[in-house]
Amino acid sequence: MDISELIPHIEALIFASDKPLTAMEMTELLNNAFGFMDDKLTLDQIQTGIDGIVSKYKTEFYPFEVRESGGGWQFLSKKEFHKTIAQLNGEKFLKRLSVAALETLAIVAYKQPITKGEIESIRGVNSDYSIQKLLEKELIVIIGRSEDMPGKPLIYSTSKTFMDYFGINTTADLPRLREVLGESLEEPSLINFTPLAPVINPVLVVSEEGELLENNPSASSEGEDEERGEA
């Protein structure tokens, strides 16, 4: 099948799917649809078709684009149209996560896998409510229990919904903290810093009578300098 004939079928799959589709999934679906063909469609053909679709919808004529997000390909509205689309769903669409939930989500994202106790240790407050809300929104998931910790607490990780929500494919795509905070990350500065004078260890000397004496090398040195000055 020619690529120009294949592209509309790939578009149809991406448009109709309620979840992101991978190139491999589309290859399988299209081969099932065209089972009568002697030559099976290859992953390279599908990927070439996807590349063509991506280029097509990047142009300014479309308010949406095809992007790889949440582990697969999907149609997404372009950023400049988000406020316009938000009018369709009112406050429900615009409702954002609370500061507490965002803090908890950030900790899970950057420290996963992680337990509730570890989250609370970092935040310094009880996080039951925030964790529950994130579970309800399916932004985090329970992936098991910690067998090495007392009580075998639950372990949390981010979900595919999280990746889709933030437009990334893996947690490796998360920005580094310096990229997020930028210039607000400053090097620590010393206040009222006064360098300490070097500490010179005393030299122990024994007199002819066997008495233990303490000889100060710095005093001796100063004496020598004074003698040189007088000379």
* Contact yes or no for 65/78 (Cβ under 8 A): yes
Place of tokens 């790889």: 68
Helices (H), 159-216: 160-166, 177-181
- pTM, two decimals, is 0.55
Contact residues for 44 (Cβ-Cβ < 8 A; gap 6+): none
Contact residues for 62 (Cβ-Cβ < 8 A; gap 6+): 56, 78
Q: Domain 96-182, CATH 2.70.70.10 — does that match?
A: no
Place of tokens 């900790």: 107
Residues 13-38 have pLDDT tens digits of 999 998 889 999 999 999 999 877 77
* Residue extent(s) of CATH 1.10.10.10 domains in the chain: 3-84, 96-182
One-letter amino acid identity for 187? E
> Collapsing DSSP states into helix, strand and coil, what is residue 116?
helix
One-letter amino acid identity for 182? G
Residues 164-215 have pLDDT tens digits of 777 777 777 787 766 555 555 555 555 555 555 555 555 555 556 556 555 5
* Contact yes or no for 3/22 (Cβ under 8 A): no
Distance CA 227, CA 221 (A): 10
Look at domain 3-84 and name its CATH class. mainly alpha
* 66's tokens: 């095809």
